[in-house]
Structure 1
Amino acid sequence: MKHIAIMGGGKIGSMIADFLAGCGDYSVEVFDRSSEQLDKLETSAPIKKTVLDITDAAALKAALSGKFAVLSAAPYHLTVFIAEAAKAASAHYLDLTEDVASTRKVKQLAQDSKTAFIPQCGLAPGFITIVAYDLAKKFDKLQDVRMRVGALPKFPSNALNYNLTWSTDGVINEYCEPCEAIVNGDLRETSPLEELEEFALDGVTYEAFNTSGGLGTLCETLAGKVRNLNYRTIRYPGHAAIMKALLNDLGLRHRRDVFKDILENALPTTLQDVVIVFVTVSGWKDGMLVQHTYANKVYAAPIGGRMRSAIQITTASGICTVLDMLAQGDLPTHGFIRQEDIPLDRFLANRFGRYYAETESHNAAA
């Protein structure tokens, strides 16, 4: 049995703990600075809960001693602390961050590491990166890669058409930080909340706009090989305009603590959500210009006797699948590992990856 440390006992951390402890192959210990948060954790199998200040480097290293891997479900600004401690403790490292700067530092830590460093193992970046690269490999020559993901309430009932289903810090960060894209062959930074578009899926209209971090390392991987590559977050129409007014016109991008407090006291959470994954890739194959599309919707569902949100299921199954593949010898055991290094078919065949496979509504063209 492999010993696993999970940093962060929030909505996603609790789902990760439930998946791993429930399968019987992992001994799980969850760390959080809040004893109240740990007391709220409910899992279908026994886990250990430990109060820990993650910013205490010595205590963090001691906590990771003897662990096979550490999985970070903590806020993005703690990513580097945890990655540094993982390296010092010789534990494999996996995280869910969308933060570009943190991932660059994780990559530096991995350069001479004897253990694996696998950041961005969630939904986006994460699963969508695996899907996009799998589609891209089917072409002789790429043209455009468009990646769209959204975690949305099934029953929107406020002006933002949104409920809190994910980390509030993470949402604000991806709405404020610069975005990466390849535009007409050139790698560029683009502005968040811009390049608004609308599309329909299964008769429902959505909007999508630039947000930071969703591409993972794909810009670097596909540089010089694709004309256009971009990532946009999916929301219901009208969301982006209100967010731009709050963040730009009212200046809340410079007062993130205030904005976080507003959102968490105005927008209720919900377990009645849907995650949408929509990837379109075009290019040349056998002398013809063709397009392949992957579209999938994942809904909230009962797992282990408890109702779990779609964002909990998709995010936790992503990082648990990558951990499982690492433990089973299906991935390299040292250095930096990109999401696009993970084969889609083996991901979906995994006992945790099946939560994506079981809900697929549209299959990509062969």
Structure 2
Amino acid sequence: MKKITVIGAGKIGAIVADFLHATRDYAVTLVDRDAAHLSGLDLHSAIERCVIDIAQDGLGNALDGQFAVLSAAPFHLTETVAKAAAAAGVHYLDLTEDVASTRAVRKLAEGARTAFIPQCGLAPGFVSIAAHDIAQRFESVDTIRLRVGALPRFPANALGYNLTWSTDGLINEYIEPCEAIVDGKRALVLAMDGYETLGVDGVAYEAFNTSGGLGSLCETYDGQVRELNYRTMRYPGHRDLMKVLLSDLRLSERRHILHDIFTHALPTTTQDVVVVFVTVSGQRDGRLQQETFARTIHAREFLGAHRTAIALTTAGALCATLDLLAEGAIPQEGFVRQEDIALASFLGNRFGQVYGRE
């Protein structure tokens, strides 16, 4: 039984701990700074709970003897956890979407004897695995387009949105610059730009640039494609209202106020849906062809409890990556890209199966 430490007992971290414990293959310790929150979680008593404020005290000796540490902490703590993993000589995995944090993890991975695998969630994460798998079937690739939406099934406000995951992460991806490849060259494009409309399974969506969803794909496909981009999917009208808040009211400069507005006014929901839409076009058999990977994943029962779609896809992806690491199916040291994970292996995993056709 491998010892695992999960950092952050928020919406996803607690579910990751629950998933891993349910396998009986991992001994799980869940770390958070909030003692009352930790003790109030409805988790199996065998999951050890440890109160540490890593922003103030670091992790100290908490990682001694562990196989891996999984960070589900806020993105601004990513580097702190990664440094502790490097010092302890344990494998490191995270869910961050923050580009700067991932660069810091990559630097720590140089010469490491353990694996550093950032961005193991939905996007970045699974979408990179799917896109890379499709791209390998072409003789040459022209465009790679990744579109992902984490949405309420029953939108009931003007934004067409409910909180389903990290509010800080949501705000960050709406504001920070976005990596892309444009006309064959790597570029930074503005968040909220690149507006388009699309339909999946008869439902109309809009999509626009958001930060962090490409992971390391820009580096992997630099000089190989004409166009590569990631856009978040929302119900029509969301982007324009967000631009009023972020630009016209300048709340992009006062993120704490935007955070308070969201948490006060937008309810959470357990009735959500995740839409994945990855399209690759390129040359195959002497002509330009296109191939698409599409999934619509709903909240449902999994491992004995109701799980939201965002929990299934995010926690499931992180746990699947850990499983593959433990099995030796992916590199065991240094910086590991999501593209280094085979789609067939991922979908065949007990957690990766949540991305299968329902």
TM-score above 0.5, yes or no: yes
Match of 2:199 in 1: 200
Is residue 22–residue 44 contact of structure 1 (8 Å, CA) maintained in 2?
A: no
What are structure 2's unaligned runs of at least 5 residues? none
Deviations 1:51-75 (A, max 9, x none): 1111245x50311111110000010
1 CA distance for matches of 2:207 and 2:108? Answer: 34
Secondary structure of 2:20 counterpart: helix
Match of 1:279 in 2: 278
The answer on 1:33 being equivalent to 2:33 is yes
Shift of residue 331, structure 1, vs aligned partner? 1.3
2 CA distance for matches of 1:250 and 1:301? Answer: 38
Secondary structure of 2:205 counterpart: strand
Deviations 1:261-287 (A, max 9, x none): 110000000000000000010000010
Match of 1:217 in 2: 216
The runs of at least 4 aligned residues of structure 1 exceeding 4 Å deviation read none
Q: 1:184-195, aligned counterparts within 5 Å?
A: 184-195=183-194
Match of 1:118 in 2: 117
Code of the aligned partner of 1:149: V
- Identify if the C-alpha distance between structure 1 residues 45 and 358 changes in structure 2 by more than 3 Å, giving closer, same or farther: farther
Match of 2:99 in 1: 100
Is residue 21–residue 28 contact of structure 2 (8 Å, CA) maintained in 1?
A: yes
Secondary structure of 2:280 counterpart: strand
Shift of residue 15, structure 1, vs aligned partner? 1.2
Match of 1:132 in 2: 131
Shift of residue 306, structure 1, vs aligned partner? 2.4
Deviations 1:286-305 (A, max 9, x none): 10110000100111012333
1 CA distance for matches of 2:175 and 2:51? Answer: 31
Is residue 33–residue 51 contact of structure 1 (8 Å, CA) maintained in 2?
A: yes
What are structure 1's unaligned runs of at least 5 residues? 360-366
Deviations 1:26-80 (A, max 9, x none): 00000001112212322357301111111245x5031111111000001000000
Code of the aligned partner of 1:314: T
Match of 2:151 in 1: 152
1 CA distance for matches of 2:270 and 2:93? Answer: 25
Deviations 1:294-337 (A, max 9, x none): 10011101233322110001000101011001011111111000
Shift of residue 239, structure 1, vs aligned partner? 0.5
Code of the aligned partner of 2:9: G
The answer on 1:332 being equivalent to 2:336 is no
Deviations 1:234-276 (A, max 9, x none): 0000100011110111111111111101100000000000000
Code of the aligned partner of 1:150: G
Q: Which moved more, 1:260-269 or 1:297-306?
A: 297-306
Match of 2:78 in 1: 79
Code of the aligned partner of 1:111: E
- Identify if the C-alpha distance between structure 1 residues 352 and 64 changes in structure 2 by more than 3 Å, giving closer, same or farther: same
1 CA distance for matches of 2:278 and 2:19? Answer: 27
Code of the aligned partner of 1:259: L
Match of 2:254 in 1: 255
Match of 1:291 in 2: 290
Secondary structure of 1:220 counterpart: helix
- Identify if the C-alpha distance between structure 1 residues 288 and 45 changes in structure 2 by more than 3 Å, giving closer, same or farther: farther
Secondary structure of 2:215 counterpart: coil
Deviations 1:209-253 (A, max 9, x none): 000000000000000110100000000001000111101111111
Match of 1:309 in 2: 308
- Identify if the C-alpha distance between structure 1 residues 182 and 263 changes in structure 2 by more than 3 Å, giving closer, same or farther: same
Is residue 61–residue 88 contact of structure 1 (8 Å, CA) maintained in 2?
A: no
Deviations 1:81-101 (A, max 9, x none): 000000001110000000000
Is residue 20–residue 28 contact of structure 1 (8 Å, CA) maintained in 2?
A: yes
Secondary structure of 1:55 counterpart: helix
2 CA distance for matches of 1:288 and 1:91? Answer: 47
2 CA distance for matches of 1:146 and 1:346? Answer: 23
Q: Which moved more, 1:36-45 or 1:272-281?
A: 36-45
1 CA distance for matches of 2:319 and 2:147? Answer: 22
Is residue 18–residue 43 contact of structure 1 (8 Å, CA) maintained in 2?
A: yes
Is residue 61–residue 89 contact of structure 1 (8 Å, CA) maintained in 2?
A: no
1 CA distance for matches of 2:64 and 2:108? Answer: 18
Q: 1:338-353, aligned counterparts within 5 Å?
A: 338-353=337-352
Cα RMSD after superposing both structures:
1.0
Shift of residue 358, structure 1, vs aligned partner? 4.5
Code of the aligned partner of 2:152: P
2 CA distance for matches of 1:187 and 1:61? Answer: 39
The answer on 1:23 being equivalent to 2:23 is yes
2 CA distance for matches of 1:61 and 1:191? Answer: 39
Is residue 275–residue 297 contact of structure 2 (8 Å, CA) maintained in 1?
A: yes
Code of the aligned partner of 2:28: V
The answer on 1:50 being equivalent to 2:77 is no
Code of the aligned partner of 2:222: A
Code of the aligned partner of 1:79: T
Shift of residue 25, structure 1, vs aligned partner? 0.3
Shift of residue 14, structure 1, vs aligned partner? 1.3
Match of 1:362 in 2: none
Match of 1:8 in 2: 8
Code of the aligned partner of 1:278: F
Is residue 295–residue 357 contact of structure 2 (8 Å, CA) maintained in 1?
A: no
Is residue 14–residue 42 contact of structure 1 (8 Å, CA) maintained in 2?
A: no
